Each structure stands twice: as C-alpha cells, then as structure tokens.
Amino acid sequence: MIRRGASVAMAALLAAGCTVGAQASRSSPSPPSAPPSATEARGETVGALVRAACRNVPHDVLLRTWRGVRLDRSGDLQIIPREPNFVSGGLTHATPFDLTQDVPLLLYGPGFVRPGVYDRAITLADIAPTLGAVLKFPFDTPDGDPQTQALLPEDERGLPRLVVVLVWDSAGTDVLERWPDAWPYLRSLAERGAWFTNVTVGASPSNTPVGHSIIGTGTFPRSNGFVDEYVRVNGRLQKPNENGPGFLLDPTLADLYDRAMGNRPKVGAIATLAAHVMMMSHGAQWGGGDRDIAVTREKEFGRTAGEEDVRWNLTTDMAPFYRLPRYVNDLPPLSEYVDDLDRADGALDGRWRDHEIARLKGGFDTPARTPFQQALVEAVIEREGFGADDVPDLLFVNHKAIDTIGHLFSADGVEMSDALRVQDEALRRFVAFLDDRVGEGRWVLVVTADHGTQRDPARSGAFPIDIRKLEAGLAATFDGDGDGVPLLQKIRPTEIWLDRAELAENGSTLEEVAAWLMGLTRADTYKGSAPPGPAEAGERVFAAALPSSILGQLPCLPEARAGEG
Ligand SMILES: [Zn+2]
C-alpha cells in the first residue's frame, strides 16, 4: 500500500516534470516482477530532486545555499523559489539570489589603502582577513582571504589608530543602483578609496545574522553556526543571540586581535540588534576576552531577533559579556531629529512625505534614526577615546534605517531615496569627524552592507509565495494524524524546520515533503484575494526543494563534496 504522503509526493514530482523510474515502469506493458521497495522509491525521489536542483538552479545559488547550511542547526529542508519569486510573510531580503546577495564594499584610508576599482569576485568573508592585513595581524580563514591588492605594500604603511566597519544595513548593490543620485558622498569616497565591484554576501539566506556573522568571523554559517534568524540547538528553535554570543561558533577578528594585544585596544559596536554585535566579538565570553563596548536597542524577549526597544540597551543574555556606557540614553532625543526630517519638506506638520510620523514608531521607522544614532557614535568615540593613542582600535557600526524602510516600502519606494540620502549625509559628517578627532591619514574605514532589499513585486514581476499557504498545505498533507503534535516547526524564506519524529510517525519522509513542494503552483500559493489568471495558475513556484542533508552530495556542486569529504 502506498502511503498518503508518498502518493502525493510522487504525483507532484511527475507534475513538476521530473522523471521518476518507478512511475515509468508502472506504465510499461509488462509489469515488473516486484513493486519497488520503500528504499528504492526513496532513492528514486532523491534522484529526481537532485536532478531538478542541478538543472533549475544556477551554480552560485546552490553554492550560497550550501555555505549557509549546518545540518545540526538549519532547517530540515532547503527551498529555492524560481527566481525572482520569494517566500513571503513580507518583503523579505532573505534569498540566495544576486538581487539581495550583491553588496557594495568600500575600503577607504589614505596612507593605507591603494585607491582603485577592484573587480575580483569576493564575499563578506574576505573583510575580516583584509582588516587583519591592515592591522598586520594575520587572520586567514577557510572562507576568506586578505585582499592585499587593495592595500599599500606592508613596508610602506604603518598602523591606523582606528579601524571602523560601517554597515549600511540592507543597502545592497541593487538598492544603490536603484537610486544612483542618492549617495554622492559615498561615491566620492569610492573614487578616493578601494571600491570592490563584485562582492556578494556569499551564503544564503542573505539576512542580518548571516551577514554580520560572516563579516565578523570571515567564515560562512556552515562553519560559524549563524544560519538564519533562527537556529535549532538542542532540539529547540531559538534566535541566534537568545543565549548571548555563545551560538557563534568561530572567533571573530576582534576576539583574537584584542586578546593578542592584551585587551589594550578599544573595541566597540554601536548598532540596533544583538545579531549586529556579532560582527565585532564574543566580548568577555571568548577565553581571554574582555567586555567590549556594545550598544543595541533590541527588544528583550521579542518574538523575532528584529524587534526594537525604545532605549539603547543590551539584552539580559548579552549584558554579562559587554559594557553598555551609562551616558548613551542621555544624548539629545530622537524627536529633535524627527523634527529636522519633518521640516525638510517646508512644514513642521507631523508628516514625512505621505506618512504620519507618529505612526512610524514615533519616527524611529524613518530616516531620522540615522543622524540620531550618528550623534551617539561620535559621543562614544570621543568619551571612550577611540583612536586616541597608537594602539589600533576597532569600532563596528550598523545603521538600520535602510533595512527598516526597505521592509516597509521596498527598494522601489521613494522613501528609500530619502533613507539613502540621509545615510550618505551621515557618512559625510562621520568622515569629517574622524579627520578632526582621530586625524587625517590615521584611520581606515570599511563601508558595506549585510544584504540587499527586496524589490516591489508589482515592478519586479516576482511572485510572492504565501508563507501561510505553505504552512496550511504542509499540515493538511503531512500532518493529518490528529495527535496534536505539530509537524511544522518553522518556515523561513529559504528553509523549513520539521519535527522529524512526528514526520516519521505520520509515515512520511523529507524527500516526500520536498517533492510535494516542487509540485506547488501559483494557484496553490498566491497571496491576497486575487487568484492568478489561467495562463499562470499552473506555473510551479519552486526551482528546488531538498532535504538539507543531500546538499553536500549534489553532483553539480563539487565544492560541497570536497568540503564535506
Ligand atoms: Zn540586515
């Protein structure tokens, strides 16, 4: 007897155009002597899933997916929509595609950096090793290399007093190209610095924990463990920083550099979320480390790792390992900067463009948060003495306005141009401040992004795959046993966590769930109330769905087979 999940899966694979041996033999005139065993059927399903992945998905996309997976933490299934579709609760940037994977990278620092345009294909994992070279502190990793072609020869440069890593959260290359006139100052710095034109996050999904962990460690999540907005540890799905910094498995540049220097360097991070701090360090948690300065405003016990508080803080689990300066909430309030934004259109009327500012978290979800935070950055540099002596210090800054506005309005919203302009203006101010306080030719700056921003699907043609329909369909197809134990633990845009014991109890396999996903159409998964027209209704929405464990064995991904050998 064919189990329900298996029959559904087989039908879906056939509908998706995958040739499956068992089915071919079923229609042959002379029946085989014995029906295929469960093991044989499973092998055939795996074969079909593997062939579909290798045929439908570009190599880069599969490689990024593999680099982002750790089998002890990631979802049980990896899902790759047909580009440019995306699995949507909202306007997600968590994809393996160039649109959100391509990021800018500027290395600026007269006296240290060799100006030019650099086209070599690199990833965020190359930043930490490159800064190691700037500090003359070798920091090679399995996934990153120092980009010394962009530095002056080692004997022609000294040590900077301060190295700053500045993340424009969500400001991928596509966002900058969408609004080319909105960042004149960054462009002028690019002409005087090293401007890398072929940079990707390098691992999927392109989101905040993934991007920042790569920047910090120079390794991909496959190694460092920060695989997504959630990680499964000890059988429980948790936010990556739910227990402080300890789930980040690899050391950061700052961890090792600070310790090697006897903790004399000043090391600090000024950001919004605990996940941002991971581009800096484990603080005192890493053996021999001290309590580096960290300032965030993550909401304690928020539902996601992205919820924000109304004051600068550290979450309870981060607090033991870092130092939050006392004065950070005593600076001029956000309202002053909100008023500046409000006045920009000529009238102080409580509105930014068409939006009532009060309804955008009192202004915190507007570009006004950028100058508000920039003032904090400058206060911390001044009061803590960053760059004040010959011991090179490290400062990490994340500005989140572009991300916030991208989630609300997409990369295409005119609001994004405001966010970029304000961010660019803050950069101009920051560079002048560093020249004034640290001294010209005494500091090095990296500007990059942790990922890009989703386009407006109405313009990009992307089909948003309704995450709630995936949830409901999975439950209806594979979890009908009524025992009250949910099969589904979490669906994210690129992966799915299941209760594997419950799946087995329900008589199904991961391969069957993957095959079912491959059969889903636009008619099955559309968002909103308007179903797709007849010409589109039957179009499949996924290019690949795979049990995570077979990613490493794809014949079209030799890097993975070598890496797991
Ligand atoms: Zn981000």
**472 and 503 fall within a common domain:** yes
What distance in angstroms lies between residue 307's CA and the mean position of ligand 1's atoms? Answer: 12
Taking the C-alpha atoms of residue 328 and residue 312, their distance in angstroms, rounded to an integer, is 7
98 within domain boundaries? no
CB-based contacts of 343, cutoff 8 Å, min separation 6? none
Q: How far is the CA of 93 from the centre of ligand 1 (A)?
A: 9
pLDDT for the residue 54: 98
What is the helix (H) or strand (E) element at residue 421, kind and residue range? helix 414-434
> Do residues 314 and 296 make contact, with C-beta atoms less than 8 angstroms apart?
yes
For residue 58, report the distance from its CA to the centre of ligand 1, in Å: 24
402 Cα–ligand 1 center, Å: 9
Q: In angstroms, what is the span from residue 270 Cα to ligand 1's centroid? A: 14
> How far, in Å, from the CA of 208 to the mean position of ligand 1?
4
Tokens of 101: 């994977």
Q: How far is the CA of 296 from the centre of ligand 1 (A)?
A: 14
Domain-located, residue 229: yes
16 in any annotated domain:
yes
In the structure encoding, which two tokens stand for residue 407, read together? 């989630």
For the CA atoms of 398, 402, 408, 409, the dihedral, rounded to the nearest 10 degrees, stands at -170
Q: What are phi and psi of 333, to 5 degrees?
A: -75, 165
Residue 96 domain-assigned?
no
Distance 478 CA to ligand 1 centre (A): 34
Among the three residues 455, 490, 516, which one is the final residue of a domain in this structure? Answer: 455
- What is the whole-number distance in angstroms between the Cα of residue 135 and the centre of ligand 1? 26
Q: How far is the CA of 27 from the centre of ligand 1 (A)?
A: 51
Clarify whether residues 112 and 238 are in a common domain. Answer: yes
Residue 260 token pair: 């090697």
Taking the C-alpha atoms of residue 127 and residue 282, their distance in angstroms, rounded to an integer, is: 18
Q: Look at residue 542 and tell me if it is in a domain.
A: yes
Structure tokens at 553: 């064995």
* 71 and 139 together in one domain: no
- In angstroms, what is the span from residue 275 Cα to ligand 1's centroid? 9
CA of 503 to the centre of ligand 1 (A): 33
Token pair 């795979």: residue: 546
For residue 287, give every residue at least 6 positions away whose Cβ sits within 8 Å of its Cβ, in sequence order, or none. Answer: 259
How close is the Cα of 449 to the center of ligand 1, in Å?
Answer: 8
Please name the residue that has the structure tokens 């982002």. Answer: 68
Q: Which helix H or strand E contains 545, and what residues bound it?
A: strand 542-547
**Same-domain pairing of 110 and 56:** no
Q: Are residues 350 and 374 in the same domain?
A: yes
C-alpha of residue 211 to centroid of ligand 1, in Å: 7
Residue 267 lies in a domain: yes
349 and 200, same domain (yes or no): yes
143 in the same domain as 41? no
Rounded to the nearest angstrom, the distance between the alpha carbon of 237 and the centre of ligand 1 is 20
Distance from Cα 404 to the centre of ligand 1, integer Å: 9
Residue 276 Cα to ligand 1 midpoint, Å, equals 8
| Dist. CA 22–CA 288, nearest whole Å | 59
Establish if 438 belongs to a structural domain: yes
Same domain, 156 and 68: no
Return the DSSP state at 37.
Answer: P
Domain that holds residue 344: 103-455
For residue 274, give the CATH number of its domain: 3.40.720.10
From the centroid of its chain, how far is CA 260? 30
Roughly what angle, to the nearest 10 degrees, separates helices 4-15 and 38-56?
30
Query: What's the 536 CA to ligand 1 centre distance in angstroms?
Result: 33
Tokens 């795959």 belong to 465
Distance 373 CA to ligand 1 centre (A): 16
User: What are residue 270's phi and psi, to 5 degrees?
Assistant: -125, 115
For residues 204 and 75, give the distance between their C-alpha atoms in angstroms, rounded to a whole number. 12
Tell me the residues surrounding ligand 1 (ion) with CB < 5 Å.
169, 208, 403, 450
**Total domain count, the chain:** 2
Domain identity same for 148 and 256: yes
Element (H, E) at 518: helix 510-518
**Judgement on whether residues 193 and 295 belong to the same structural domain of the protein:** yes
- The residue out of 455, 482, 517 marking a domain boundary is 455
Structural domain contains residue 97: no
Instruction: Please tell me whether residues 108 and 228 are part of one structural domain.
Output: yes
Q: How far, in Å, CA of 395 to CA of 294, rounded? A: 10
End-of-domain residue from the set 455, 477, 500 = 455
Q: Ligand 1 centre and the CA of 451: distance in Å?
A: 6
The dihedral formed by the CA atoms of 464, 545, 69 and 42, expressed in degrees to the nearest 10: 160
**Residue 146 backbone phi and psi in degrees, to 5:** -70, 130
How much distance in Å is there from the Cα of 563 to the middle of ligand 1?
28
Distance 295 CA to ligand 1 centre (A): 16
* Amino acid (one-letter) located at 94: A
Residue 368 CA, ligand 1 centroid: distance in Å:
18
**Three-state secondary structure string covering 253-313:** HHHHHHHHCCCCCCEEEECCCHHHHCCCCCHHHCCCCCCEEEEEEECCCCCCCCCEEEEEE
> Distance, CA 29 to ligand 1 centroid (Å)?
57
Going from the Cα of 169 to the center of ligand 1, the distance in angstroms, rounded, reads 5
Whole-angstrom CA distances from 430 to 157, 236, 543 are: 23, 42, 44
296, 212 contact by CB (below 8 A) = no
CA of 476 to the centre of ligand 1 (A): 34
Q: How many whole angstroms from 241 Cα to the centroid of ligand 1?
A: 15
CA of 403 to the centre of ligand 1 (A): 6
CA distance 157 to 179: 36
Which pLDDT score is estimated for 19? 39
What are the CA-CA distances from residue 536 to residues 50, 79, 472, 531, 532 (Å)? 25, 21, 22, 10, 6
CA of residue 210 to ligand 1 center, whole Å:
9
Rounded to the nearest angstrom, the distance between the alpha carbon of 244 and the centre of ligand 1 is: 18
Distances (CA, A) of 519 to 142, 153, 249, 320, 392: 37, 56, 37, 49, 56
**Quick one: pLDDT at residue 11?**
57
Give bridge partners of residue 448 from the DSSP assignment.
105, 167
**Is 296 found in the same domain as 159?**
yes
Say whether the peptide bond before residue 146 is cis (omega within 30 degrees of 0). no
Cβ–Cβ under 8 Å, residues 255 and 269: no
pLDDT in tens, the chain (565 residues): 335 555 555 555 655 544 333 333 334 445 556 777 888 888 899 999 999 999 999 999 999 999 999 999 999 999 999 999 999 989 999 999 999 999 999 999 999 999 999 999 999 999 999 999 999 999 999 999 999 999 999 999 999 999 999 999 999 999 999 999 999 999 999 999 999 999 999 999 999 999 999 999 999 999 999 999 999 999 999 999 999 999 999 999 999 999 999 999 999 999 999 999 999 999 999 999 999 999 999 888 777 666 777 799 999 999 999 999 999 999 999 999 999 899 987 889 999 999 999 999 889 999 999 999 999 999 999 999 999 999 999 999 999 999 999 999 999 999 999 999 999 999 999 999 999 999 999 999 999 999 999 999 999 999 999 999 999 999 999 998 889 999 999 999 999 999 999 999 999 999 999 999 999 999 999 998 889 999 999 999 999 999 999 999 999 999 988 876 4
